Structure 1
Amino acid sequence: MDTIKIPQSSDDPQYILIYPWPDLVPMVAAAVIGIAIEQVTLCLLATIVLLGRYQRFRDGKPKMFVPHWLYGKGIGMPRGHTIPEPMDKVFLP
């Protein structure tokens, strides 16, 4: 078993039990969806495979790469009124 690194700053993900929350949330969501459609094993296995691929992708990229990439594609969800929409080409004062 790997040692758990204690977060040194507020930017590091919070741990729930022994898992960081970005890894635990999809597992819980897959369990809930699996219970709803009566295919828990299939949903959890698919989530484990997708999480493994996502972790490999995430480890090779800088922090906040995925949210910035999504924002650039127009999928991002800005949290303030001063953040312009990513697809706006003309800015009016």
Structure 2
Amino acid sequence: MEPVRIPSRIDDPVHVLLWSLDELAPMFCGLILGMAIGQATIGFLVGLMVTNFYRRYRDTHPDGYLLHIVYWAGFVFTKARSMVNPYVRRYLP
């Protein structure tokens, strides 16, 4: 059996140039909305600022923190029986 080399960053998100895919989404959304209103440069700059704030927020919190906030706010919809309703804040025995 031959040893297999496993990359050290196998779980990292996809990167395009300098940004990961989740950082590119606000820039593209800002660009598309800017093109829709006729101000593509302003939309792209707003998307770039949102990406900068998102990167700062993501780097100062643990992995999955934003997903927990989204779940806690009740925006995750699933039919799984094992997930608890996020609106139930207190459990009684």
Establish whether TM, by shorter chain, passes 0.5: yes
Letter in 1 for 2:38: E
- What do you get for the CA RMSD once the two structures are aligned? 2.4
Percent identity over the alignment is: 25
Normalising by structure 2, we get a TM-score of 0.73
Greater RCO (CA < 8 Å, at least 6 residues apart): 2
Equivalent residue pairs, number: 84
Structure 1 unaligned spans of 5+: 1-5
Q: Quick check: which has more Rg, 1 or 2?
A: 2
Deviation for aligned residue 1:61: 0.4
Cα deviation per residue 1:25-72 (whole Å; 9 max; x = unaligned)? 211111111111111111111111121111111100000100101211
Normalising by structure 1, we get a TM-score of 0.73
The answer to which of 82-91 and 21-30 deviates more is 82-91
| Rounded Cα–Cα distance in structure 2 between residues aligned with 1:68 and 1:60 | 15
| Rounded Cα–Cα distance in structure 2 between residues aligned with 1:16 and 1:35 | 22
Would the aligned equivalents of 1:7 and 1:13 in 2 still touch at CA under 8 Å? Answer: no
